[in-house]
Amino acid sequence: MIRLSDRLRHVPGWVLDAVLVHEIAHLVHPDHGADFTELAQRHPRQRDASRYLEGYQLGLEMSASLGTVSEHDGEPPIDELPDEAPPTTLF
């Protein structure tokens, strides 16, 4: 089963595609080893999507540190979501 954070509902389609390729690669290789990386990097914009998500995460953190009210308040960072989180609907 693949679970995605509902925070991804506003990202561009190519970013969501890269996230899905990343998660599908985990179905074959559960770790982030060389074989996993080779498979996940087959998405043509995987590196771009990683940079996009790093910036997106930074924006969420800066918003929280400035006290800006956000729909994401109280949610863990994207890369710290628990593996056993309930499935989330994007739309």
What global pTM score does this model have? 0.68
Give me the average pLDDT of each 10-residue run along the chain (91 residues): 88 96 95 96 96 93 77 52 43 32
Q: Would you state the pLDDT for residue 78? A: 53
Q: Would you state the pLDDT for residue 67? A: 78
Q: Are 79 and 57 in contact (CB under 8 A)?
A: yes
Euclidean distance between CA atoms 83 and 81, whole angstroms:
6
AA identity, residue 65: S
Q: Would you state the pLDDT for residue 1? A: 83
Q: Are 39 and 29 in contact (CB under 8 A)?
A: yes
Q: Would you state the pLDDT for residue 85? A: 43
